Structure 1
Amino acid sequence: MIKLSNVSKSFQTKKGTIQAIDDVSLEVKKGEIFGVIGYSGAGKSTLIRCVNLLEAPTFGSVVIKDKEVTNLPAEELLQVRRKIGMIFQGFHLLKTANVYDNIAIPLRLTEVDKEELDKRVTKYLKIVGLEDKHDAYPGQLSGGQKQRVAIARALAQEPEILLSDEATSALDPETTESILELLLKINKELGITIMLITHEMNVIQKICDRVAVMENGKVIEQGRTVDIYARATHPTTKRFVNSTYHKELPANVLQELIQTGPVVRLSFVGESTSKPVLASVSTKFQVSPNILAGGIIQLKQETIGALVVHLNGDQEETKRAIAYLEEQGVMIEGVEVAHV
């Protein structure tokens, strides 16, 4: 549905060249929700603006539905953009227009006839749960309601792709949750492919099928959300994943524990979640597992259990215990002394 190949974007400033995106390649499949996460300055906003050519890539290729769009004539590019909706952190609503007109004005500009226009406004206000707000003005709405109007406006163009540029960043946690539920509904019921950017791992956790992690303009890791959670390899990705567990062990405690055995993170996915494998370790090996921290992460379609465990025992026995756990489908990584 969306394919970026070796995309780079640089900006010329008085202080020199800024490389916002550096050789990024990724593919968003039809019907999925694909997330791009990174800290401020990672290049994710520039990346998503390259998808609909609001920013023209300096190098590389952008393909939408098997059509190369990077060098399309203006009229053809406009036709492609009409199938790509976009929602923003700042809502971008007209303060002097009511809810109905905020949704209707873009349709009028594309010469949608009045009957069809009214039908679409009514339909999508109902989908976003604001059918009673036709005549309200943005100043009378909460932040979550404003974002719902912005989503209805994007949907009224009946796009095949929806881009979300930090759409929940300005909202409180409860409202964020409701907007994420709405995006899931839109994806499932309307079949719209969604690509979103965020700096919040809970957004990825809640709704994304796959994710790419960005840093300094590059994609440093990407894959299925469940695999990124369970098998993150880059330190930045690990920081994002660890932030969702909200568990941290003091360095001095870890330093003391590792004198008598390794401290490891165990991730349980799929069949391994139903096996009492940790309980078996103490009976099969001369190792005493001590659970230090733990949590359960509910992803869009799967559940991951994570435990931080101290394996108290000599080196050979703990090696055998770790090999046994891996044979049982448990994913294992060592815990750094500085943090969990």
Structure 2
Amino acid sequence: MIVLENVSKTFSGKKGDIEAVRNANIEVKTGEIHGVIGYSGAGKSTLIRCVNLLENPTSGRVIIGGEDLTSLSEQNLREKRKKIGMIFQGFNLLKTATVYDNIAIPLRLIGIQKKEVDDRVKKYLEIVGLADKVNAYPSQLSGGQKQRVAIARALAQEPELLLSDEATSALDPETTDSILELLLKINKELGITILLITHEMNVIQKICDYVYVMEQGSIIEQGTAIELFSNPQYPTTKKFLNTIAQRKLSSSLIQQLKLSGNVLRLTFLGESTGQPLLALVSQKFNVKPNILTANIIELKNGIVGNISIHLLGEQQDIAAALSYLEEHGVNVEELEG
């Protein structure tokens, strides 16, 4: 569905050139939800705007449905964009227009007939759960409802691809969850491919199949959600994960608990999450695990369990215990901090 090949975007200014995106390579298959995560200034928004050529890449190719958008004429690009919906952090609703007209006006502008416009507005308001707000104005809606109108507006053009530019970052946690559930519903029931950008790890956790981590314009790490949550490689990825699962013990806590040596994090995947492996190693290898922190992260396509422990015992027994855990699918690493 989406292929970015060595896409770069450079902005020129009085103080010199700024490389916002550097040699980005992305492939999103039809029907999947992919997420791009990074801190402010990482290049996420520029990257996603390159997908529908709201920003023209300085170099590289953007291929949607087998067509290279960078090679299309303006007219053909406009036609291709009709199959690419986009939702934004700021909603971008017309304040003086009703909910109905906010969805209908873009359809009228591209020449959709009156009855078809009416059918689509009602259909997609029903899908986003706002059928009763058809005559309301944006000022009468909550933030979550405004975003639902924006999503209905994007869906009304019946796209094959939906781009989401920080669509939940202005919303409270409960409303964010409801919007994420709506995106999952849209993906599953309408079969729409979704590419989103975010700086919130819980967004990635709840709906993404695949993840790209951006830093200073480059994609520094990528993989399935389970791969990144269970075995992150780069400090930036680890920092993001620490926002939802403690991956680092403070030096003051280590000193307070008088911990030294064999402070470990155990990551459990799949079947290993349901087995009493810590109890078994305690029985088999004469070691004593002192549990410091524990959590289970539910992802879209699986579960990742994390346990931080201080493992006590003779070094040869500890080595045997850790080998046993790794043989049973547990990832073992020295805890940061």
**Common fold, TM-score beyond 0.5?**
yes
Shift of 1:247: 6.7
Cross-structure match for 1:317: 317
1:109 aligns with 2:109: yes
Shift of 1:253: 3.6
Shift of 1:319: 1.9
The 5 Å alignment of 1:97-246 reads: 97-246=97-246
Shift of 1:138: 0.5
Question: 1 CA distance for matches of 2:259 and 2:323?
Answer: 18
Cross-structure match for 1:330: 330
The residue type equivalent to 2:40 in the other structure is S
C-alpha contact 1:35 1:211 (8 A) present in aligned 2: yes
Name structure 1 gaps, 5 residues minimum: none
C-alpha contact 2:128 2:182 (8 A) present in aligned 1: yes
1:66 aligns with 2:66: yes
Question: 1 CA distance for matches of 2:236 and 2:326?
Answer: 24
C-alpha contact 1:247 1:293 (8 A) present in aligned 2: no
Question: 1 CA distance for matches of 2:211 and 2:79?
Answer: 28
C-alpha contact 2:247 2:335 (8 A) present in aligned 1: no
Query: For 1:228-264, what per-residue CA distance to the aligned partner results, in whole angstroms no more than 9, with x for missing partners?
Result: 00011111111111211257533144356553x3111
Shift of 1:157: 0.1
Question: 2 CA distance for matches of 1:319 and 1:247?
Answer: 22
Question: 1 CA distance for matches of 2:159 and 2:313?
Answer: 59
The 5 Å alignment of 1:251-266 reads: 251-254=251-254, 258-259=259-260, 261-266=261-266
Question: 2 CA distance for matches of 1:257 and 1:304?
Answer: 28
Cross-structure match for 1:53: 53
Query: For 1:87-137, what per-residue CA distance to the aligned partner results, in whole angstroms no more than 9, with x for missing partners?
Result: 000000000110000000000011000111100000000000000111101
Range moving further from structure 2, 315-324 or 181-190: 315-324
C-alpha contact 2:268 2:331 (8 A) present in aligned 1: yes
Question: 2 CA distance for matches of 1:173 and 1:28?
Answer: 27
The residue type equivalent to 1:152 in the other structure is A
Shift of 1:317: 2.3
Question: Residues 258, 318 of structure 1: CA spacing in aligned structure 2 closer, same or farther, 3 A cutoff?
Answer: farther
Query: For 1:62-82, what per-residue CA distance to the aligned partner results, in whole angstroms no more than 9, with x for missing partners?
Result: 110111111211011111110
Range moving further from structure 2, 83-92 or 65-74: 65-74
C-alpha contact 1:257 1:310 (8 A) present in aligned 2: no
Q: Taking structure 2 as the reference length, what is the TM-score of the superposition?
A: 0.97
Cross-structure match for 2:289: 289
Question: 1 CA distance for matches of 2:228 and 2:39?
Answer: 17
Question: 1 CA distance for matches of 2:71 and 2:264?
Answer: 50
1:91 aligns with 2:88: no
Cross-structure match for 1:22: 22
| Aligned-CA RMSD value | 1.2
C-alpha contact 1:211 1:224 (8 A) present in aligned 2: yes
C-alpha contact 2:248 2:336 (8 A) present in aligned 1: no
C-alpha contact 2:63 2:69 (8 A) present in aligned 1: yes
1:44 aligns with 2:44: yes
Secondary structure, counterpart of 2:71 in structure 1: coil
Tell me the matched-pair count.
Answer: 336
Question: 1 CA distance for matches of 2:289 and 2:258?
Answer: 12
Secondary structure, counterpart of 2:132 in structure 1: coil
Question: 2 CA distance for matches of 1:216 and 1:225?
Answer: 21
Secondary structure, counterpart of 1:132 in structure 2: helix
Query: For 1:30-58, what per-residue CA distance to the aligned partner results, in whole angstroms no more than 9, with x for missing partners?
Result: 00110000000000000000000000111
Secondary structure, counterpart of 1:40 in structure 2: coil
Question: 2 CA distance for matches of 1:316 and 1:61?
Answer: 55
Question: 2 CA distance for matches of 1:73 and 1:188?
Answer: 33
Shift of 1:170: 0.5
Question: 2 CA distance for matches of 1:166 and 1:81?
Answer: 20
Shift of 1:313: 2.1
Question: 1 CA distance for matches of 2:223 and 2:115?
Answer: 44
Question: 1 CA distance for matches of 2:177 and 2:336?
Answer: 32
Cross-structure match for 1:278: 278
C-alpha contact 2:33 2:207 (8 A) present in aligned 1: yes
Secondary structure, counterpart of 1:70 in structure 2: helix
Q: Percent identity?
A: 64
Question: 2 CA distance for matches of 1:139 and 1:46?
Answer: 30
